[in-house]
A and B are shown apart, each in its own frame.
Chain A
Amino acid sequence: MSAFSAIGEDREIDREEFTPTLEPQATWCPGCGDFGVLKALKQAMPEVGRNPDEVLLVTGIGCSGKLNSYFESYGYHSIHGRSLPIARAAKLANPELEVIAAGGDGDGYGIGGNHFMHTARENHDMTYIVFNNEIFGLTKGQTSPTSPKGHKSKTQPHGSAKDPIRPLSLALTSGASYVARTAAVNPNQAKEILVEAMQHDGFAHVDFLTQCPTWNKDARQYVPYIDVNDNDDYDFDPTNKEEAAAMATEAEQSLYEGEVLTGRFYVDADRPSYSEEKQAIGEMPEEPLAERYFDDDYEWERTHDLLLDRHK
């Protein structure tokens, strides 16, 4: 029997299993877009067929990092910007886990930008949800990497002189094999995209537009949104990287002009995940490494022969 019997359990999963029966200390403001992410994620879980004990949700720091408090599963509320390196190692250690990383735009595109680029290029089989509300929320309203140029805040009183990060394009060029954008105000599409992202075998990046009614009052609430996959005006093939890139660029530009384009922008179902690549070159075992420590029959290698061979 596996030491991890929660994994692959064959039963109906109820989304309420992911709701803590004990209400956590409230940290999200009324009307916060983060509730939309939470709802979509809970709704997605039964369709993905994963139970709370086989899900590892790794978060960073910020309002988004509190997602674990509202979501019942194995959770790792880590440090600012570092959810991805923790998540990807957990996935390497046990590829059978459902690994989800989540963070905000400051956490994911600012302090964790380097990890975002590298995790995407390695194409780890995991889902990365970035709560994008174009503001630092938990530290009380400073300009974020996705705030529009000219955005005024207490730390940039004359307005930001910087162009915002273009997360979809960044994910795409870095090598993510699934790139999508959805919005908290669109729960049905959000759930659908999260299901797809989790079922995708590779790095799935979901830029999740969330409103911040406390610190970003002026920001659009991302309505009305347009689903680019359902709208004939945006006829493009998400499996074609060039067309996907053009569409992503347009969506990123138009967001700052007041038009909210959402949907799946890029899907590459053929690219092998990082674990598969690593196993193919013989640098990762086929069986989950973590299982080995619970297997009483496993014969652990001694280094003595290796040592004699090289150092005698």
Chain B
Amino acid sequence: MTDHELMWRIAGGSGDGIASTSQNFAKALMRAGLHVFTHRHYPSRIRGGHTYTEVRAKPEPVRSRGDGFNCLLALGDSFARNPQEGAYYGDEEVKPLSENLDELNEGGVIVYDTGLLDSDDIPNFDQRVEENDWHVYPLNLREIARDHGREVMRNTAGVGATAALLGIDLQYFEELMAESMPEDILEPNTEILHYTHDMVKEEFEFTHDLRVPEGNHDEEQVLLSGSDTIAYGALDEGCRFIAGYPMTPWTEVFTIMSQALPEVGGISEQVEDEIAAAALALGASHAGVKAMSGSSGGGFALMSEPLGLAEMSETPVVLVEAMRAGPSTGLPTKPEQADLEHVLYTSQGDSNRVVLAPGTVAEAYEQSRLAFQLAYGYNIPVILLYDQKLGGELMNVPASHFDREPNPDLGAVTTEEELEEAPHGPGGKFHRYRYDAEDGVSPRSIPGQKGGHFLVTGNEHNPAGHIDEDPTNRVTQVERRMSKLDGVREFLDDKNTQTYMGPEGADYGLITFGSQQGTVREAVDRLNEAGHSVKGIGVSDMMPYPVEEMTEFLESVDEALVVEMNASGQFRGLTQKELGRFGDKLSSLLKYNGEPFEPAEIVAGFEASIEGQDVPDQQTTYVPAAGD
């Protein structure tokens, strides 16, 4: 598996430019014709502290991180703390090298910066190198950068060195640098890139086999993260208002939108707290603009109240929830899928909302567009649920995927002409919440429209919006609001939002939701290659739940393993609750250590589960079916 793919990891200190360097590296490989996928790991610190990004590249489509990696560029942590603080932070200085060795595959390549790292400080380094057949290339990248430009350019020196060792054409890096750097920085960087590349080629005898594979794309590709595609989906669907408060990892979507909106004549508001943020989105939406807000777990908790108001008042709005590990502030920069129940049931009363969970970077664009179509088409709040992994990972997608027409349709609203004909109450109020609306969707008027005034209220209300506690009115309105989900279900069924993997007639099922979809897909492929009969499904609709599709899927398999990143099996629980059966067929593979699954962990977990054995990896947990 490692023969024809590159899994390059760049490690250093937070703030040392690891993210930007790896992004350029991934882009260069994409331009060279390869499929790429990145996996980001960073601590909850601004500067200093161990961080890395992995870039996986293959000639074939790649949708997941790999198992371990095969090339390490260890740059050193220039912000490392005083080693005397080691009791708390560990030995920061050598972490870019020492922390990564456990996951480096046999036969792997190591390039490290001797200007910042000393391999003598790492216990048994030489012995481990020998045992694992690693190929080590120590280089004083810091000195090279300093001599030919500035010390911060050691990233470029490192890229030049690994490019030489892996046989990557420098032209792709040069082009990317030329596109992004001002002249005075570009020149020394270019020099450093070439100098290091040539020097490595001349001075080292290459003992390793690893070379970058060759690839070729049929069509033009773009490199995007899930946060990017959520933002572009919103913009293409006519969203022109966002309000938010920064919180990792939701901040990425907020930032991208804040930079794009002024360009297209939209409005972004950074406000005092998340309650205000969601309330602003409601206010803008009520006044006739497609609006969104969002946050991560703790911030989303504050939005419960406006979310409930959106349900009761049928004000359309899209809220994104970027999950990170919880409870409370949890692991601020690490992914988890444990907010599912939170977004399904938060706020008082019966939930009357739509919850979508995209599974890939490309799908996040679709679901973001769908979210707005549903919110405005049905006058209902829609939550787009994703996690830190999907938000931050980069993946190549054909550019044509995003070449679509915009859709600014404001959905279920009236025109002034329609208002003239529409029923009004004796007080002159427009019947905004009429009982007899088609599919339960009673179109709304927008303030400023003649003859359209009505009252919005979070209290139960009659057709004109007046507060009304009459039991018959109450039942009618509740049922009308709830019935909208039936229309949403039909709408979603037409869009084929679930993702199927593997052979249709397989005996076993793997079920997942959200960001684990790509990893499960790779596991399904590997299991079938290894002779198992397995198919998978990545579920995107959390509310309304795809009852029919899932019933069909589960009836067709003997057993199914639900793969999710939380400790309580929330998605498995939802599945059993919604379907009311299959408790004896569903078992769980769970991971909640702050890292997403690797494909091999799912493969091993599956194999152990069907053989009734313990899951081999202590970082994952197996919970058997109720009938076992």
Contact = CB atoms under 8 A, between A and B. Distances in A.
Interface stretch (A77-85, A147-155, A158-166, A251-259): A77-85
A140 interface: no
A18 to B, nearest CB: 10
Interface residues of A, number: 68
Given A54-B448, A308-B222, A90 B286 contact: yes
Nearest to A9: B450
Contact of B428 (A52, A90, A283, A301): A52
Contacts of B399: 304, 307-308, 312
B241 interface: yes
B267 A53 contact: no
Contacts of B458: 61, 77-79
B492 interface: no
B228 to A, nearest CB: 7
Contact of A292 (B240, B272, B450): B240
B299 to A, nearest CB: 14
Given A77-B458, A92-B241, A58 B260 contact: no
A303 interface: yes
A67 to B, nearest CB: 11
A82 B465 contact: no
B562 interface: no
A7 interface: yes
A92 B267 contact: yes
Contacts of B406: 300-302
B241 A282 contact: no
A86 B442 CA distance: 22
Interface in A22-58: 22, 24-25, 52-54, 56, 58
B276 A77 contact: no
A75 interface: yes
Contacts of A115: 272, 276
B241 to A, nearest CB: 6
Across the A-B interface, the 5 shortest Cβ-Cβ residue pairs: A4-B448, A89-B283, A290-B288, A93-B287, A86-B283
Given A293-B238, A306-B263, 9 more contacts: A22-B425, A53-B450, A90-B284, A97-B287, A97-B448, A293-B408, A301-B264, A303-B232, A303-B260
Interface of A: 3-7, 9, 20-22, 24-25, 52-54, 56, 58, 61, 66, 68-69, 72-80, 82, 84-94, 96-97, 114-115, 117-118, 278, 282-285, 289-290, 292-294, 298, 300-304, 306-308, 311-312
Interface of B: 220-224, 228, 232, 235-236, 238, 240-241, 243, 260-269, 271-273, 275-277, 279-284, 286-291, 305-306, 308-309, 313, 399, 402-406, 408, 410, 415-416, 425-429, 446-459, 465-467
24 contacts: A53-B450, A61-B458, A66-B467, A69-B467, A73-B453, A74-B447, A74-B453, A75-B455, A77-B456, A84-B276, A85-B277, A86-B279, A89-B282, A89-B284, A90-B286, A93-B287, A93-B288, A93-B289, A115-B272, A289-B240, A289-B267, A293-B408, A307-B224, A312-B220
